[in-house]
Amino acid sequence: MEDDLLANFYLKQSEPNQSCFLVLRKLIKDMDPEIVECLKYGCPCFLYGKKILCYLWKDKKTDHPYILFSDGVKMNNPVLEFGGRKKMKSFTIDPNKDIDSELIKILLNEAIALKKK
């Protein structure tokens, strides 16, 4: 059932967001075999072990996808933004441009390292 809901999240996105979300999903899942995808609050959530690593969602104003890091407050990369949150930080992706997969891998590695502590 949850697999159907996850698939539905990706399938109901309009282009270019759908392609962007699918690329982000693959990047995240390919980072580590311990990363598991589930659905929380109606959006894809990625767990490392049993702890929340990040979410995928989109900005209400711009409609651009973003990765929301659960331990963002502990991450120091200047590309991350609080966006009015106290603990989580996000990285927004422009779906009309090429995805900087190397930067996303750097961010994911930092987030995973925090979970391993």
- Residue 100 clears pLDDT 70, i.e. is over it: yes
pLDDT, residue 95, reads: 96
Kindly state the DSSP code that residue 59 receives in the 8-state scheme.
-
* Confidence label for 1 from pLDDT (cuts 50, 70 and 90): low
Write the pLDDT tens digit of every residue in 55-99. 999 999 999 999 999 999 999 999 999 988 889 999 999 999 999
The answer to whether the beta carbons of residues 47 and 33 sit under 8 Å apart is: no
DSSP 49-72: TTEEEEEEEE-TTT--EEEEETTG
pTM of the model: 0.92
Cα 26 from Cα 75, distance rounded (Å): 22
